[in-house]
Amino acid sequence: MLRQRNTGRDDGGAVPTESSFSTRQILKKVDVYPKLHREFKVQTEAGATVSLVAMVIMAILFLSELRDFLTVSKHEHMVVDTSTTEKLQITFDISYPALTCREAHMNAMDVAGDLQVNMHHTVFKTRLAADGTPIGEAMTHVPNAHPETLEPLPADYCGSCYGNTHPSGLTCCNTCDQVKEAFMTSDKTLDDAESTEQCLRERGKEEVDSKNGEGCRLHGSMFVNRVAGNFHVGLGRTFHREGRLVHQFLPGQQFTYNSSHIIHEYVVPYPGMKGPLDNVAKTADR
């Protein structure tokens, strides 16, 4: 006797339809990592070697990238300051063992045409003995201690040009430079101008007291434009004429001029920079 089996579900679940089966098949085709059956998987020594090499390379790349990420990188760049109104302060301390303070005059000039002749307002001079020890105290420019020169000049003062014609047509030579400029138009020497009233009045006390065989130490600061330029201690006295620097010295003095020097300090303000010229000494060959 045949018994019919009940094909229905007791839990009331739905029987998979043809549409749901096709949807699952489409989703499986989208899988980019297809799974192989166990019987199709083959593990070889060559494959293991490739895997180990790949892992080592990945570890090296990871560590190198990590080190690069944790390392602080330093990038330097330069910015050009185009402003010309601000001044640059330069501090210096230079000794001239063979130049007296009467002979040591500092001048500065730059490509912008700015000339600073015989700077003395911010420059101090110290007389040095032959062994380099200082004589007296450091002094800035102090007028010559003659009673007549300490008195203020009257408002209507008109200095003599000593019979010479000034190139600019001035009838009064009130300064030492004006006297020298007038002397250059005649047969008189610039050394003669040093004995005139104007030049004696403008000479500093440290220059008057200086004696042959002494040295001089120049120290202080200067304010210059932020452009290319130079400063120097030249032979003889210097004055400005028609936009040029004129050095006054006696004939033959250039053969005995000794510019040996010791740069104790030369500072251009820059954070953390050590002066490359500090403690540099140069001796002139005689």
Q: What is the mean pLDDT of residues 111-134?
A: 82
State the residue range of the domain holding 114. Answer: 88-142+210-286
**18 within some domain:** no
| Domain count across the chain | 2
Judge whether 30 lies within some domain: no
Lowest mean pLDDT of 169-178, 201-210, 253-262, 264-273, name the range. 201-210
Confidence of residue 66 (pLDDT cuts 50, 70, 90): very high
Question: Tens of pLDDT along 152-177?
Answer: 778 888 988 888 888 888 889 888 77
Residues 159, 99 share a domain:
no
- Tell me what the pLDDT averaged over the chain comes to: 78
User: pTM above 0.85?
Assistant: no
Name the domain boundary from 203, 228, 249.
203
- 148 and 286 share one domain: no
226 and 188 housed in the same domain? no
- The DSSP result for the chain, as a single string, is ---PPP-S-TT-PPPPPHHHHHHHHHHHHH-SSPPPPGGG----HHHHHHHHHHHHHHHHHHHHHHHHHHSPP-----------SSEEEEEEEEEETTS-TTT--EEEEETT--EE-S--SSEEEEEE-TTS-EEEEEE---B---HHHHSPPPTT-----TT---TT--S---SHHHHHHHHTTSS--HHHHTTSHHHHHHSBHHHHH--TT-EEEEEEEEEEESSSEEEEE-SSEEEEETTEEEEE--TTHHHH----EEEEEEE---TTPPPTTTTEEE----
Question: Is the domain of 150 the same as that of 258?
Answer: no
Same domain, residue pair 222 and 94: yes
Q: Is residue 152 part of a domain?
A: yes
Q: Is residue 246 part of a domain?
A: yes
Using the predicted structure, report yes or no on whether residue 230 has a pLDDT greater than 80.
Answer: yes
Lowest mean pLDDT among 31-40, 55-64, 83-92: 31-40
In the predicted model, is pLDDT for residue 146 greater than 70? no
Domain boundary among 187, 203, 219: 203
The answer to whether residue 174 sits within a structural domain is yes
Kindly state whether residue 278 falls inside one of the protein's structural domains.
yes
Instruction: Say whether both 217 and 286 belong to one domain.
Output: yes
